[in-house]
Amino acid sequence: MRRIVFLQRDTLTARVRRPSFAHEWAEYADTGATEQAARLAGASIAISNKLPMPRSLLEQLPGL
């Protein structure tokens, strides 16, 4: 099952439809740079609006 993490829900006013495939959904109003790695652990899909994701972070998250 895929884990989808929405890191900055409050920064996006659009309606985001959840996918039809089986998944776990985690949603956060906002996420700071120091919280990213912990919140994305085990995630296969990340939804972010304005939060930079540097290479050093992505290297820690091989399943993303």
Q: Where are the domains of the chain?
A: 2-59
Q: Which whole number is the average pLDDT over 27-42?
A: 97
Q: Which whole number is the average pLDDT over 10-24?
A: 93
The percentage of the chain sitting over the pLDDT mark of 90, rounded to a whole number, equals 89
Pairing of strands 2-6, 23-27: parallel
Mean of the per-residue pLDDT values of the chain: 95
| Class of residue 55 by CB neighbours under 10 A (exposed 0-12, middle 13-18, buried 19+) | exposed
